[in-house]
Amino acid sequence: MNGGMKINKISDWIWEIPKTEKEGMLVPARIYASNTLLEKMDQGVFEQITNVACLPGIQKYALCMPDGHWGYGFPIGGVAAFSTEDGIISPGGIGFDINCGMRLITTNLKIEEVKPRLSDLVNELYRSIPAGVGSKGFLKLSLSDFKEVMIKGVDWCIEKGYGWPHDRERIEEKGRIAGADPSKVSERAITRGVNQLGTLGSGNHYLEVQLVKIENIFDEKIAKIFGIKEKDQIVIMFHCGSRGFGHQIGTDYLRIFDKTKKKYGMNVKDRELACAPFNSPEGVDYYAAMVCAANSAFVNRQIITHKIRECISRVFGSSAEKLGIEIVYDVAHNIAKREKYVIDGKLKELLVHRKGSTRSFGPGRSELPEKYRDAGQPVIVGGSMQTGSYLLVGTDRAMNETFGSTMHGSGRTMSRRAAKKRFRGDQLIKDMKKDGIIVKAVSLSGLAEEAGFAYKNISEVVETMDASGISKKVVKLLPIGNIKG
Amino acid sequence: MEEFEFLDDIATADVAIESRGDTLEELFGASATATFEVMVNTKGVKPRIKKVLCLESQEIDTLLFDWLSELIYLKDVEYMVFSDFHIQIQKDANYLLQAQIFGEEICPTRHELRCDVKAVTYHLFDVSKKKGKWVSRFVLDI
Question: What is the distance in angstroms between the Cα of A95 and the nearest Cα belonging to chain B?
Answer: 9
**DSSP class of residue A443?**
-
Specify if B69 maps to a domain: yes
DSSP of A30-69, one letter per residue?
A: EEE--HHHHHHS-HHHHHHHHHHTTSTTB-S-EEEEEEEE
Domain count, chain B: 1
Chain-chain contact of A133 with B14 (C-beta, under 8 angstroms): no
Q: How confident is the model at residue A1, as a pLDDT?
A: 59
- CA–CA distance, A127 with A260 (Å, rounded to integer): 45
Q: Which of A69, A247, A353, A408 is catalytic?
A: A408
Cβ-based burial of B78 (10 A; exposed 0-12, middle 13-18, buried ≥19): middle
Which residues span the domain enclosing B78? 3-115
Provide the CA A270 distance to its chain's centre, in angstroms.
23
pLDDT digits (tens, 9 = 90+) for B85-97: 999 999 999 999 9
In this complex, which of A42, A272, A449 lies closest to B121 when CB atoms are compared?
A: A272
Taking the CA of residue A443 and the nearest CA in chain B, the distance in Å comes to 5
User: Identity (one letter) of the amino acid at A454?
Assistant: A
A408 noted as active-site residue = yes
Average pLDDT over residues B14-23: 96
Indicate the SS3 state at residue A200. Answer: coil
Is residue B136 in a domain? no
**pLDDT score recorded for residue B9:** 80
Q: Do B113 and A132 touch (CB under 8 A)?
A: yes
**Domain assignment present for B139:** no
Binding-face residues of A in 359-398 toward B, CB within 8 A: none
- Is B98 part of any domain? yes
Residues A180-207 pLDDT 10s: 999 999 999 999 999 999 999 999 999 9
A188 near B CB under 8 A: yes
pLDDT of residue A4: 85
B-chain residues near A408 (CB < 8 A) = none
Distance CA A119, CA A129 (A): 15
Nearest CA in chain A to B77: A192
Cross-chain residue pair A443–B115, CB shorter than 8 Å: yes
The residues, any chain, with a CB within 8 Å of residue A142's CB and separated by 6 or more, are none
Give this complex's ipTM.
Answer: 0.96
Is B109 inside any structural domain?
yes
CB contact under 8 A, B73 and A95: no
pLDDT digits (tens, 9 = 90+) for B101-118: 999 999 999 999 999 999
Tell me whether residues B75 and A134 touch, CB distance under 8 A.
yes
Q: Taking CB atoms and an 8 Å cutoff, what residues of chain A touch B81?
A: 133-134
The beta strands (E) that lie in A111-177 are given as: none
Whole-angstrom CA distances from A280 to A215, A276, A286, A336, B15 are: 52, 7, 10, 16, 33
Which regions in chain A score pLDDT beneath 70?
1-3
Of A134, A193, A203, nearest to B142 by CB-CB distance is A203
Nearest CA distance, B48 vs chain A (angstrom): 17
Beta-carbon pairs below 8 A across chains A and B = 146
What is the CATH architecture of A8-413+455-484? Answer: Alpha-Beta Complex (3.90)
Query: Which tens digit of pLDDT belongs to each residue from B28-75?
Result: 999 999 999 999 999 999 999 999 999 999 999 999 999 999 999 999
Across the interface, do A134 and B108 touch by the CB < 8 Å criterion? yes
Chain B CB contacts of A44 under 8 Å are 10-12
* Residue in A95, A97, A443 closest to B114 by CB: A443
Rounded to 5°, the CA angle A121-A125-A128 comes to 140
Quick check: A272 and B14 CB within 8 A?
A: no
Name the residue ranges covered by the structural domains of chain A: 8-413+455-484
Would you call A199 exposed, middle or buried from its count of C-beta atoms within 10 A (0-12, 13-18, 19+)? buried
- CATH number of the domain that B103 lies in? 3.55.10.10
Question: Which of A72, A199, A249 to mutate: most B Cβ within 10 Å?
Answer: A72
Question: What does the pLDDT read at residue A485?
Answer: 87
Closest chain B residue by Cα to residue A192:
B77
Residue B12: what pLDDT?
Answer: 84
- Could you say which of A134, A272, A415 has the minimum Cβ distance to residue B106? A134
The predicted-structure confidence for A213-232, as pLDDT tens digits, reads as follows 999 999 999 999 999 988 99
Residue B68 inside a domain? The answer is yes
Which of A248, A270, A412 lies nearest to residue B12, judging by beta carbons? A412
Question: Which residues make beta-bridge pairs with B95?
Answer: B57, B91
User: Pick from B66, B73, B122: which is nearest to A192 by CB?
Assistant: B73
Q: A233 to chain B, minimum CA–CA distance in Å? A: 32
End-to-end CA distance of chain B, in Å?
A: 27
Cα–Cα distance measured from residue A88 to residue A351, given in angstroms and rounded to the nearest whole number: 8
Q: Which residues of A touch B63 (CB under 8 A)?
A: none
Closest-approach residue (CA) in chain B for A91: B121
Closest CA to A406 of A344, A341, A461: A461
* Residue B135 forms part of a structural domain: no
Instruction: Tell whether B138 is covered by a domain.
Output: no
Contact between B12 and A42 using a beta-carbon 8 Å cutoff: yes
Distance CA B127, CA B33 (A): 17
